[in-house]
Amino acid sequence: MKDHGRHAHATPTDSAAYRQAATGDDVTRQNVLAMRQLEEAAMAKRNGADRVASAIARFCGSMTFVWIHVVIFSAWVGYNALPWFHPFDPYPFTFLTLVVSLEAIFLSTFILISQNYDMRVSERRNQLDLQINLLAEQENTKALQILERIAKKVGAHVSDDPQVRALEEATRPEALVEQIEEAYRADSGQAAKNGNGG
């Protein structure tokens, strides 16, 4: 069977490298390299807003961000609460509340932008996984059909095996989706009945 990683990154050089893989470690190493190249290509295609949002979200998720706020808030509250300083934002620190609220609005926006980008990347990965899985299923089906022809040539009778006949049929994704949805509907109906019965 062909190496499916070759389909994920189709350049002549990489295809030749996959063909030259001699061990399992070589194959996995080349697969990891191909995925890294895909990640780097996706990162390079980001627009300015995605880059800025990602950098801000990454900084906001660090302990440095936490300690900076601890220092600033402590200094702010201490300066405006201690009696020997002239307060510019006395208790209940209305201006500090305004600043924190504005910061929360902008930070949440940047985080949502970053999450939307991550969601798009995740969707592309899911599509890649789906395409590779469908290709693998098609190749397996074709391999079974070839093996059955070989078996007939050598006199082995496998056509009467219902499992072999079922596996030789091409998988229809829409049929699988319908079966999954039916299973979920059945589970939901059973859960509803159990809830009403309780």
pLDDT at 2: 45
H or E element in which residue 10 lies: none
Q: Which two tokens stand for residue 189?
A: 């109906």
Is the distance from CB of 27 to CB of 4 less than 8 angstroms? Answer: no
Q: How far apart are CA 63 and CA 74, in angstroms?
A: 16
Rounded to the nearest integer, the mean pLDDT of the chain is 76
Q: How far apart are CA 119 and CA 113, in angstroms?
A: 10
Q: How far apart are CA 127 and CA 120, in angstroms?
A: 11
Reported as half-sphere exposure (CB side, CA atoms, 13 A), residue 87 has a value of 15
Spatial CA neighbour of 121 closest among 45, 32, 34, 16: 45
pLDDT at 73: 92
pLDDT at 98: 93
Q: pTM of the entire structure? A: 0.55
pLDDT in tens, 91-130: 888 999 999 999 999 999 888 888 888 888 888 888 878 8
What percentage of residues in the chain have a pLDDT greater than 70?
72
DSSP string over 45-110? T--HHHHHHHHHHHHHTSHHHHHHHHHHHHHHHHHHHSTTS--SS-TTTHHHHHHHHHHHHHHHHH
pLDDT at 159: 63
- Residue 131 pLDDT greater than 90, yes or no: no
Q: Which two tokens stand for residue 98?
A: 């305004």
- Selected residue with higher pLDDT from 193 and 119: 119
pLDDT in tens, 2-45: 444 444 444 444 555 555 656 667 777 777 787 777 777 777 77
For the chain, the structural domain boundaries read 1-45, 46-157, 161-198
The residue type of 18 is Y
